[in-house]
Amino acid sequence: MGMWVFLITEIMFFGGMFAGYMIYRFMYYQAWLEGSQHMDFWYGSINTVVLLCSSLTMALAVRSTQLGLRRSSVVLLLITILFGLAFLGIKGVEYYGHIVDEHQFPGPSFRFAGAYTAQVEMFFSFYFAMTGFHALHMVIGVGLVSFVAYHAWKGRYHAHYYTPVENVGLYWHFVDIVWIYLYPLFYLISHIHK
């Protein structure tokens, strides 16, 4: 029950950001369109596939734990961790391009040659805030999956006690679902307009 209450607070947290994004997009559509042209469709698409695969391995890890298949559970949890790290690595490469190569991080070093510079900077503020908080949740998720993987390896979880693995699975799936909403807002829609 506690995990569900926590997830509801997380939904409200991300929901506020999604609402702000939609209001901004409605008010400054042309600036949103210009800013979205700088999103890399392939980074977003590859990361989506990575997270969908991680969701599968996490679900299989939970099921393996419920069935008392310790070795299978540990292997699947480790694969989930690798997918999470791959996601973060790809996101880091993407951030590097936006920040260092294109100077699109909001603040004094922001550079944009266009008619809607202030509004495009706001677009990137939403981008970095929303994807940054998502990445932070991924880091936490990788830590939690690592924790339960260690304890699964030690034999702490079995067919009659698997609640921690199940709760971490719920958290992991929630973070994946958030990305499923971020992906079209920043990557798919901008790709359609190119």
Fold of 2-192: Four Helix Bundle (Hemerythrin (Met), subunit A) (1.20.120)
pLDDT above 90: percentage of residues in the chain: 82
pLDDT per residue as tens digits for the range 51-84 = 999 999 999 999 999 999 999 999 999 999 999 9
pLDDT per residue as tens digits for the range 8-53 = 999 999 999 999 999 999 999 888 888 888 899 999 999 999 999 9
CA–CA dist 44, 91 (Å, integer)? 8
CA–CA dist 94, 92 (Å, integer)? 5
Q: Are 153 and 36 spatial neighbours (Cβ–Cβ below 8 Å)?
A: no
Q: What was the pLDDT predicted at 19?
A: 96
DSSP 10-33: HHHHHHHHHHHHHHHHHHTHHHHH
Domain boundaries along the sequence of the chain: 2-192
Which residues fall within 8 angstroms of residue 106, CB to CB, at 6 or more apart? 121, 122, 124, 125, 128
Residue-level length of the chain: 194
pTM of the model: 0.93
| Among the listed residues 145, 140, 166, the one whose alpha carbon sits nearest the alpha carbon of residue 54 | 145
In angstroms, the Cα distances linking 43 to 29, 145, 190 are 23, 24, 13
Q: Are 106 and 121 spatial neighbours (Cβ–Cβ below 8 Å)?
A: yes
CA–CA dist 89, 75 (Å, integer)? 21
pLDDT over threshold 70, residue 169: yes
